[in-house]
Chain A
Amino acid sequence: MLAKRPFFITFLAPAVLTAVILAAAIFEVLQYSVREFIPGSLNVGGFTLANFAALNKPIYWWVLADTFFISLLTAIFSLLASYPVAYALVRAKRDWVRSALVSLSITPLFTGEIVRTFSWMLTLGTDGFINSILRKLGLIDMPIQLMYTRFGVVVALVQFSMPVMIILLATAIAHVDRDCEKAAANLGASPTAVFWRITLPLTVPGILSGIVVVFAWTMSAFSTPQLIGGGKILMISNLAYLQGFSVLNLPFAATLSLIALVCALGSLALMKGVTSRIERRLAVH
């Protein structure tokens, strides 16, 4: 049997080892989340469910609700801002326009979250770019508060999520059968009608996966709420970090990290369900 499957063990072993290490790391989080917190010590006590019970406080519910709210806003605005770009990227007639659009929309993905967050701090700050421009134009006397607000956090998060949203939407738009559009146009539909009644409905699966991927991704955002929210806007990631590194309550930090993981997995599972249902419905028609 081994002779029939050359390199099987050799190639399998490193992958399995990596998977075991990864699973062990996640298991540690799981294990700490059910341990007793000993104040003033980094060691943990026996097994307990007290950390999960401690979650049931208004402040933690607020943080969780705010995390959901910010992620939902980000997903919706990211969709609205990305669709025209994705559409242009797929349908542009000239090659160089397409290449330019791909480069412009994809490169921000690779500069890293600290560079992007810091750039937004410079843009949104009291002496930042937007306030300076508005003041030069005489539109405002006092700087507007953009940093440390939910608005500022969402503005930055939408920009971060756009490359991923654009990739998913562009793939969906590229798969739209152009003959359907042509048929509708030949039958007298205006370009606007073709877009709203043919193109857009055919890209619904892409739209849904875009929304859920961005939603799940934003729920685990850390540096943007940390730096642009500046402690005034707390998402679950910031609370977990605060508990782990300031309060030094490792078990509770582990509980919060685990909740974040469950939320991310849950929204993706939800997406699978919804997308397959929609696709089935589209297939029927």
Chain B
Amino acid sequence: MRSFAFWSLVVALLTYMTLPTIVVLMTSVNPTEILAFPPQGVSFDWYAKAVSYPDFQLAFKNGLIVTACASTLALIVGSAFAWLIHHYEFRGRGLLEGVLWSPLIIPHFTLGFGFLLLGGAFRLQQGYVMIVLAHMVLVMPFVTRAVHVSLANIDPALARAAANLGASPWQVLTRITLPLVVPGMAGGWLIAAVLSLTEFTASLYVTGSRTQTLPVAMYNYIREYADPTVSAISALLIIATTLIMLVADRTIGLRRVLAIDTH
């Protein structure tokens, strides 16, 4: 009886967590203009309208460019940094770590504003360079963490054995360490890509009308129109991110990256 009450509570709470997603999926296939419930049928007109809307097309293209550049840069710099802090103790390491982890704490609007002002100082405002840099800084902690966890799980004896058998540091790095951390790097890269693709607040500050990313374009649309076009885009984003996260979970184990160990 008690356990029935407990599980009912858990189901109710999970319903609360997933209700908005269900609502948005429902409205995206609802044929009527007003956001009416229950749905009056099934239609994919809003999807057709969403993918043919020029602002969304441009924003999607911008978003892909920014995400590809930012998450790849974050992957390279973040992996190197993770390797560095795993292997070496050096002066200023604490400060460097503090600065590079700080985007997890700094409000995104403060960071976005900072990059807007920095862009202004270099006449790069609203350009791809500043958007990519802002996104890279925001997502890098996740890559660093994923790679750092992978490195910590490698048996140090492997690298030592290779070195004892005459492998140069370069050979140890590329033939032993790198293959072992590839799953961590892949998982970190996917998380970084999803976070960059859906990042909104900092992007609102650093993008312009020509360079806006998809979430910014959605925000601008919501402020002007109230029809389910954005529901359709949202549904597509929900499906895409869920699929990517499933892949990430399969390749590396999301729970490890997010440090949820249930045992």
Contacts and interface: CB of A to CB of B under 8 A. Distances in A.
Contacts of A29: 110, 113-114, 117
Contact of A216 (B9, B105, B231, B260): B105
A115 B255 CA distance: 24
Interface string A207-233: 000000000100110110001000000
B77 A15 contact: yes
A65 to B, nearest CB: 18
Nearest to A162: B17
A86 to B, nearest CB: 10
Contacts of B96: 15-16, 19
A121 B198 CA distance: 18
A153 interface: no
Given A85-B13, A110-B195, A265-B105, A174 B100 contact: no
Interface in B76-114: 76-77, 80-81, 83-84, 88, 90, 96, 99-100, 102-103, 105-111, 113-114
Nearest to A98: B262
A260 B107 contact: yes
A29 B116 CA distance: 9
Contacts of B108: 220, 222
B37 interface: yes
B234 A119 contact: yes
Contact of B6 (A88, A110, A174, A220): A88
A11 B90 CA distance: 13
A258 B96 CA distance: 21
Interface stretch (B40-48, B150-158, B236-244): B236-244
Contact of A133 (B37, B107, B121, B260): B37
Nearest to B15: A104
The listed residue with most B CB atoms (<10 A of its CB), out of A19, A102, A110, A132, is A110
B176 interface: no
A127 B35 contact: yes
Contact of B17 (A11, A159, A254, A258): A159
A247 interface: no
A21 B147 CA distance: 22
A110 B13 CA distance: 19
B23 interface: yes
The listed residue with most B CB atoms (<10 A of its CB), out of A8, A84, A118, A191, is A118
Given A106-B258, A114-B200, A11 B84 contact: yes
A265 B107 CA distance: 10
B77 A123 contact: no
Interface in A1-36: 5-8, 10-12, 14-16, 18-19, 21-29, 31-32
B35 A125 contact: yes
B16 A132 contact: no
Contacts of B10: 84-85, 88, 101
Nearest to A32: B117
A261 B27 contact: no
B14 A105 contact: yes
Contacts of B9: 84
B17 A219 contact: no
B255 A81 contact: no
B140 interface: yes
Given A170-B260, A261-B106, A110 B114 contact: no
Contacts of A253: 113
Contacts of B222: 114, 118, 121, 227
Interface string B117-147: 1100100000000000110110010000000
The listed residue with most A CB atoms (<10 A of its CB), out of B106, B117, B219, is B117
A53 B14 CA distance: 46
Contacts of A18: 77, 100, 136-137, 140
B114 A28 contact: yes
Given A15-B84, A90-B262, A112-B241, A159 B20 contact: yes
Interface stretch (A56-64, A237-245, A274-282): A237-245
B57 interface: no
A104 B241 CA distance: 13
17 contacts: A6-B170, A12-B84, A15-B84, A22-B103, A25-B134, A102-B260, A106-B258, A107-B242, A108-B21, A114-B215, A118-B222, A118-B230, A122-B23, A159-B16, A227-B219, A254-B113, A260-B109
Interface of B: 2, 6-7, 9-10, 13-14, 16-21, 23-24, 27, 34-38, 76-77, 80-81, 83-84, 88, 90, 96, 99-100, 102-103, 105-111, 113-115, 117-118, 121, 133-134, 136-137, 140, 169-170, 173, 191, 194-195, 197-201, 204-205, 215, 218-219, 222, 230-231, 234, 237-238, 241-242, 244-245, 254-255, 258-263
